[in-house]
Amino acid sequence: MAEKPRLKIPKEAKKGDLVEIKTLMPHIMESGQRKDKDGKAIPRKIINKFACEFNGKPVFSAELEPAIAANPYMQFFAKVEESGTFKFTWTDDDGTVTTAEETITVG
């Protein structure tokens, strides 16, 4: 845990622009389907929720199931009307919440 998520967001945009956001969170996404070498099931441990806010308002979020591949990647869009901060949160099955922020200047 405590690995840094990777973000790809433009630094600047024009008012009303659609900006593409790409995020990647290093995580094993253990599905709960796999067995260890003694044949015991390895308990599930995944990121079950991802959310993105802009200046405190929800933009995009997703509930994730074990069928999401390891190191969950999310790509989506946001329409920006003002400068501000994107805040991202990833919630682990064990309750750990990882956050990241990125600012954008809208002219």
Residues lying near another protein in the complex (CB under 8 A): 18, 31, 33-35, 54, 57-70, 72-79
With H, G, I as helix, E, B as strand and everything else as coil, classify residue 55.
Answer: coil
Residue 68 burial (CB count, 10 A) = 19
Report the residue number, 77 or 96, with the smaller CB distance to another protein: 77
Provide the minimum distance between the beta carbon of 35 and another protein in the complex, in angstroms, as a whole number.
7
Q: Residue 24, class by beta-carbon neighbours within 10 Å (0-12 exposed, 13-18 middle, 19+ buried)?
A: middle
Report the residue number, 3 or 22, with the smaller CB distance to another protein: 22
Provide the minimum distance between the beta carbon of 104 and another protein in the complex, in angstroms, as a whole number.
13
